[in-house]
Structure 1
Amino acid sequence: MNEDAAPIRVLIADDQAIVRDGLATVLGLLPDVEVVGTAANGNEAVRLAVLERPDMILMDLRMPGLDGVAATARLRTEVPDAAVLVLTTYADDESILAALRAGATGYLTKDAGRAELAAAVRSVARGQATFAAEVGAAVIAAATTSPPRKPGNAADALGSRFPELTRREAEVLALIVNGLSNAAIASELFVGVTTVKTHINAIFAKLGVRDRASAIARVAGN
């Protein structure tokens, strides 16, 4: 860690005390992370986020009172600079899509390991979308109500949903949804990273979004 860099300020929201305490301990051991508070429900998470202005909120979905989806939507308005990383037991399509549509930047399930969680926190804090493998399939499935021309072909599904995209742009978007980096997309499509960046800029312009997370939320139906 660069000693001159400010730590990533994280707020943890989960209704189970043992989970909150465990996450706070795990993240507190990271040299570049500072846990600024914990919340037992969505209302408390929003209140603390407004007070503490964290860089990101680690958000459970199922909580009493205001749930994680509703809290995420409120945070987009009340603390727009704070990213939301969902960490939940639930990986069903409905939960995934609801969280993305509410504005979550990342989505992990609670079976993620410490290294995966740490990487996700750092990635989301940098403004990069980070999603568990289950998310890509759910988003692609939601992209169109009609079947793609070739079963299982995500680019076809996205091409049907967004006809303004070229075939190559639809392929790039499908790989973004599945969590691939620019370098990984370039390797997958046998093109240069600069070419990938050009396609991504075109995709963002055509979809009216500013970043990967917004593009994924757009695909999810937001």
Structure 2
Amino acid sequence: MLEVLRRVIQEVNGARNLDAALSTMVRRIRKAMQTDVCSFYLYDKELESLVLMETIGLRTQAVGRVVLPLGEGLVGLVAKRSEPLNLEDAQSHSHFRYFEATGEERYSSFLGVPIIHQRHMLGVLVVQQAEKRRYDDEDEAFLVTMAAQLSGVLAHALATGNLTRPALPGGQAMFKGVAASPGMAMGEAVVITPPADLNSVPDLIPSDQEYEIARLKEAIGKTRD
């Protein structure tokens, strides 16, 4: 398990950005622990709530939409107590709260550990299993170590503004800008350069392959110039 831990930490530290680091971490943890679900919840200090930010195993549409107040649900309980919670039958626990959007009704086992940096709550790492399973001490130690590793990355991202809570339906988003001229003004914000999303590019079959190849070569040539 130590070798697995070392490899996961190397991959996370080598990720190109925070989103990639979080995605890598939940996927590698899930594989290393041979479990069905791994999720990361970010603690929002202003709302005193935890927001599902990354998951592998739960429904992806739940990301950014599932919000748990501190102390509510199993995840909220982990954050409030600032200590791990290991359950073989999660649904029988008095703090269990079901979210239809996640599709987690089929998962029985639960292990959640807090992510803490310099005594400040940053979030919760969770793994779940469909079959009833009591995660052993080695599993818990592994997840606690990963949470400790992630805490420094998250603290830096939050301090530099590279990680924020996603805008919730009906909520407001706040952005910090740099003044271009003195005074005050009100108006609509415009995104000048939206972030690139390769997943949004449709996979189309070209009608003229030679033409498309020529366009590709032309584009590559322009980047060299």
TM-score by length of 2: 0.26
- Compare the two structures and name the one with the higher strand fraction: 2
TM-score by length of 1: 0.27
Structure ID, larger Rg:
2
